[in-house]
Structure 1
Amino acid sequence: MDESYPFVQRGMDAGAKGDQHLLSGRRGSGSAAVLTAAFLWFAAAAPVADAVPPPAAPDPLVAISVPTVDQAASFWQMVIEQQLIIRVPARRSPINNFAAERSTPRRDIELPVVWKEKKAPKCVAMRNIMGMQAVQRDSIDLITRQKQRLRAQLNRGCRALDFYAGFYMQGSKDGKLCEDRDQIHARTGAKCEIDKFRLMVPVHEDD
């Protein structure tokens, strides 16, 4: 036999042992991979108690529209419609006392009063107007709290008879009814501007 046979036999034995170690290493690495995959699968399937919840969605933005010119105009119109309306009642007078008895004895009638016109202020406080009388065709007399009588001359085309039931006036900023500025309104829909105020002073005929 060749003398090199023992060395060949040793090499073959070493190669066999190396193959066995390689196979055992491959088997060990395969088992470790299977265990790692199983661990990862169980970890993914298990609920995470300490997990941070996802952030909540932000609140939707609310659009705020700027009021238009038309909206502002309607607002101011509403304010104007809410202004104070003052009603002035009418008192009976020969021009609007349709139910007056004509058979009244002469002795029961008081002495007639003649009214003389004098200069009057251009404005009168609305709160001082207590009533009115239609005594002429184109003017009405305003009765004040101070027992004064102011004759309001109406503008052209207006009739005092339209105001037989009284009139309405819209409250002004200064609270006054002024000539050549303010209007009075009747229930019939008529509206007239006051041209002039005159202070009426009573004078008896026997004076």
Structure 2
Amino acid sequence: MTLRALPVLLLVSAAPFVLSASPPQAEGVQYAQLTIHERLIIRVPRVSPAPIRGRPAPVPPVRWDEKKGPVCIAMNTLTGAAVDREGEVDLVVGGARRVRAKLDDDCPTLDFYRGFYLKPTPDGQLCAKRDGIRSRSGAYCAVTRFRALVPRPAKK
């Protein structure tokens, strides 16, 4: 036998196993199907201003007045967030607008863990009285309403 004939002999001997239309059945074997659903969680870190060497002192913080806000916010327009007070999260929308999310009373650990998670919804919207945010400790905080934030005019 030559070395050239060896691969052909191996293929011919394995042919009955390769050409078999159904897998070999063992007695007592059951087949099951497993479906895996993908889950995506977006982490929104808390951003706090940090002084940088060689830069001028930061401008005093802006004071905000609350006005009537939207019912829902598109999640893909969120660019940042700030947790300043317990029970409230200021969301930066579209890079310039700010909206304050008022949360239910059962959300004490949100500011302690410096950040939160948003779970995407099928319609891509974060809506008051329907959705919520999850603190990094795992607590769920329902959004009760949104308030639009308008900069308070500076006193002269």
TM-score (normalizing by structure 2) = 0.67
* Alignment of 1:171 onto 2:127: no
2:111 to 145, 161, 165: 161
* Alignment of 1:194 onto 2:143: yes
Q: Distance in 2 between matches of 1:202 and 1:193?
A: 26
Count of residues paired in the alignment: 127
List alignment gaps of at least 5 residues for structure 1.
Answer: 1-58, 101-106
Max radius of gyration: which structure?
1
Q: Secondary structure at the match of 1:127?
A: helix
Which residue number corresponds to residue 11 of structure 2?
Answer: none
Displacement of 1:83 in angstroms is 3.0
The Cα offsets for residues 6-53 of structure 1, whole Å up to 9 and x where unpaired, read as xxxxxxxxxxxxxxxxxxxxxxxxxxxxxxxxxxxxxxxxxxxxxxxx
Aligned-CA RMSD value:
3.1
* Alignment of 1:84 onto 2:40: yes
- Going from structure 1 to structure 2, the CA distance change for 1:181 and 1:110 (only over 3 Å counts) comes to same
Q: Secondary structure at the match of 2:92?
A: strand
Q: Distance in 2 between matches of 1:201 and 1:172?
A: 28
Matched residue type, 1:157: D
1:128 to 48, 69, 77: 77
Of all paired residues, the percent bearing the same amino acid is 35
Q: Conserved in 2, the CA contact under 8 Å of 1:125 and 1:176?
A: yes
1:138 to 87, 90, 99: 87
List alignment gaps of at least 5 residues for structure 2.
Answer: 1-21
TM-score (normalizing by structure 1) = 0.52
Which residue number corresponds to residue 50 of structure 1?
Answer: none
Q: Distance in 2 between matches of 1:163 and 1:191?
A: 13
Matched residue type, 2:41: I
More strand by percentage = 2
Q: Distance in 2 between matches of 1:131 and 1:156?
A: 23
- Going from structure 1 to structure 2, the CA distance change for 1:204 and 1:143 (only over 3 Å counts) comes to same
The structure showing larger relative contact order (alpha-carbon pairs under 8 Å, at least 6 residues apart) is: 2
